[in-house]
Structure 1
Amino acid sequence: MPIPFETLIPYGIITVMFGISGAGLNKIKNMQSGGVRHRWSVDQWDKQMMDRDRRLTGHLRGQTDNPIAPTGFELNNPWRVEKRMS
């Protein structure tokens, strides 16, 4: 006994929507990473280096080969200091 094709239309729609949403999320993550693939298993060292790259270039995944830091970077310290009590 054949299955009517009308019963398969919702499954096709669901499959297509999963594909569209997956491709959209992949594209958004790609755009957020500056056009490179999203990183997995980022440890503390990688986070520190990505923060340094963000402070140098303005982009989280951006890198520069300039040996001289831009002006103002010498005061651009990521460490937070406590306020002293007077």
Structure 2
Amino acid sequence: MPVPFETLIPYGIIVAMFGVTGAGLSKIRNMQNGGKRQRRGIDQWDKVGASLLMDRDRRLTGFLRGQTDNPIAPDGYELNNPWRCEKRMS
């Protein structure tokens, strides 16, 4: 007994919405990474050791995964210190 095609329309809509959502999330993550693909399989070294370098790159370029070959730091970088120090009492 054949199935009327009208019964398959909701499933087609659901599959299409999953595809649109997946493509949208992929595009947003791509834009957040400065046009680079998302990092996968990050191990302990990448989380701890390389995060310091990634933080430095973020402070230099504005993107977490951005890199620059400019030997001179941009203006304001010397005031952009990742170390938070307490104010000493006199």
Structure-to-structure mapping, 1:2-81, within 5 angstroms: 2-40=2-40, 41=42, 42-81=46-85
SS in 2 for 1:9: helix
Distance in 1, matches of 2:50 and 2:5, equals: 51
| 2:84 equivalent to 1:84 | no
Letter in 2 for 1:25: L
Distance in 1, matches of 2:14 and 2:76, equals: 52
- The CA RMSD over aligned residues, in Å, is 1.8
1:85 is displaced (CA, Å) by 4.2
TM-score normalised per structure 1: 0.83
| Percent of residue pairs identical | 72
Higher relative contact order (CA 8 A, sep 6+): 2
The number of residues matched between the two structures is 86
Letter in 2 for 1:73: Y
Distance in 1, matches of 2:86 and 2:6, equals: 67
1:30-81 alpha-carbon deviations (Å, 9 max, x no partner): 0111111111225122322221011112222211112232344334220112
Gaps of 5+ in 1: none
Gaps of 5+ in 2: none
TM-score normalised per structure 2: 0.80
1:4 is displaced (CA, Å) by 1.3
Is 14-23 or 32-41 further displaced after alignment? 32-41
